[in-house]
Structure 1
């Protein structure tokens, strides 16, 4: 009888150990999108796609929330932290202060912040070398422009968006020194990411000045820029996600920023127990940024343009071309 009871006890302990192991490998995950919204066809959507890829491969679900303001972001992060999440992904620089504050309050909860640096032993900050990817599409724009006038429509006027513009201008000038770059920002608040009418207005004004290729780095506002390019018969360049499919034949290319990979990797690292705090940089060499040639823009990218852009890509990766990062000096060399 005692032997039978002992055997049952052993089986019970073993079952509990298995359950504990399964729990350790099944992290509680969450993601907080910024004001651009989950389906902005750009930055936030890329993050969502990375989380969905993780979910599909592992069967592990995650919680979602969207912050429409900095104050709301802090509240959402804190509410999720109280639910004892293992990892919370905060999408966008606007959540920097909120992450730093909440991470300090909940040292056992881990955070990954996209596009900015927040201090904390439980925070991994992921930064991209946007200037490198923007340089490539700048080369493509200059070589594809017939007027030698290219444009840039940014969302919120912040160093990050100026970094895109500076890299774009550097690539364009390298490809053709006579290229002119006309640039405008939608606004100075988070509302700048959700104003497609303004994005369209700025693009229209640039086209009236002779611009025939425009790079939209404006979240939801950029949708207005891309639509106007189509209506005017001009070329447009998408950002963050591959946006070539939005207006096939009008889209010259997209400067993709693999936020999806960053989120997927962070979730997987948490699952596998390899997640680490610190700062992670992702450029061309790391596969963090790139340009896109696919079925939707194949007809508007000439073999010469593709060759030149890929040469520039190789030279950036091997160090022969150094692209200036606007954020290091708050100035652009061109």
Structure 2
């Protein structure tokens, strides 16, 4: 009987891993990534502008970087990556404008904070395709919006949190209180209370606009998480970019507590001292979005519009790398995922 249970669990883990961590469309390597209108045999020259913190945040920016790295390897594009020298609107405009002036095309702006800058630079360089991640407010013939169903992935994170919690209290920490981050909050809360009625969900944000420092303030996130844990929460989901590192530290210092990561499978990248407390991560396949947008450009798709990545397209999901931790709740989380897929339930986008 024990062997049958182990076999069933292994199959479930394998199925979950396949459906939540797909690599997206595969392509054959090409010698010159240069097909499409007007490029002749020139190599495609991609420019990617990171969000606050840049490469190395083990979260949002690193997911974008993974997509760019894959494009360089498999599509053989020439690519540069930059991080604004400051957080002002002028810095963001200058960053995108410089890439356009250098002939980078397409340009990928990582994060909704680039919205105004994208609108400005897209108008100045109408022949340059600019893709922006996490924003669909800019409508222009040369602007592509890459958006995600964060509420769906967060719903599953909430389900896992509620099922794993011993106290019946879980918590959400957002980087900055914006409509985008509130999608994470709404999905997480709904997933928790619908999966385990009576679950208490506490919510806080590291900062509130116009203060956007909440994506790069790990000490503040650590303090918030510690307070939530002291109040009885024993699972903390943090969607705050680089600030998430502080939250992980607080959870690791609390015996019996669990953390849920975001954007990437943070169990794979976290420091050894905090790795084992990561129950799962809400995986947001920014890497797929970046790679597929570059691939589409190469194939001649240069028009603007909105491309949405959701549960059905493996655009969002949850990680199962910490097999021992997730195993006891995996069957019920998978059941919640199926209900989202078949439309039995809908994850809300607003708290």
Q: Does 1:21 align with 2:40?
A: yes
- Give the structure 1 partner of residue 182 of structure 2: 162
With 250-259 and 314-323 compared, the bigger mean Cα shift is at 314-323
State the TM-score, normalizing by the size of structure 1. 0.88
**1:32 is the counterpart of 2:49:** yes
Check whether the contact 2:284–2:316 (CA below 8 A) recurs between aligned residues. Answer: yes
Secondary structure of 2:275's match?
Answer: coil
CA contact (8 A) 1:266 1:275 kept: no
CA contact (8 A) 2:182 2:349 kept: no
* 1:148–1:178 CA contact under 8 A, matched in 2: yes
- Residues 120-139 of structure 1: CA deviation (Å, up to 9, x unaligned): 10011011010000000100
Q: Residues 282 and 45 of structure 1: is their aligned pair in 2 closer, same or farther, counting only changes over 3 Å?
A: same
Deviation at residue 249 of structure 1 after TM alignment: 2.3
Give the alignment's TM-score, normalised by structure 2.
0.84
Partner of 2:342: 318
Pairwise CA distance, 1:20: 6.6
Kept after mapping to 1: 8 A contact 2:222/2:249: yes
- Of 237, 248, 252, the residue aligned with 2:279 is 252
CA RMSD of aligned residues (A): 1.4
Q: Where does the alignment leave 5 or more consecutive residues of structure 2 unmatched?
A: 1-37
Distance in 1, matches of 2:342 and 2:214, equals: 36
Deviation at 1:45, TM superposition (A): 0.7
Q: Which residue of 1 aligns with 2:146?
A: 126
Counterpart of 2:158 (choices 138, 142, 148) is 138
* Pairs within 5 Å for 1:1-334: 21-23=40-42, 26-67=43-84, 68-69=86-87, 70-117=89-136, 118-188=138-208, 189-233=211-255, 234-245=257-268, 246=270, 247-294=274-321, 297-303=322-328, 305-326=329-350, 332=351
SS of the aligned residue for 1:228 comes to: helix
1:112–1:124 contact (8 Å) kept in structure 2: yes
> Secondary structure in 1 aligned to 2:41?
helix
SS in 1 for 2:77: coil
Q: Quick one: distance in 1 between partners of 2:213 and 2:223?
A: 16
Give distance in 1, aligned partners of 2:331 and 2:75. Answer: 39
1:91 is displaced (CA, Å) by 0.3
After TM superposition, what 4+ stretches of structure 1 lie above 4 angstroms from structure 2? none
Greater share of residues in helix:
1
Distance 1:144 1:157 in 2: 26
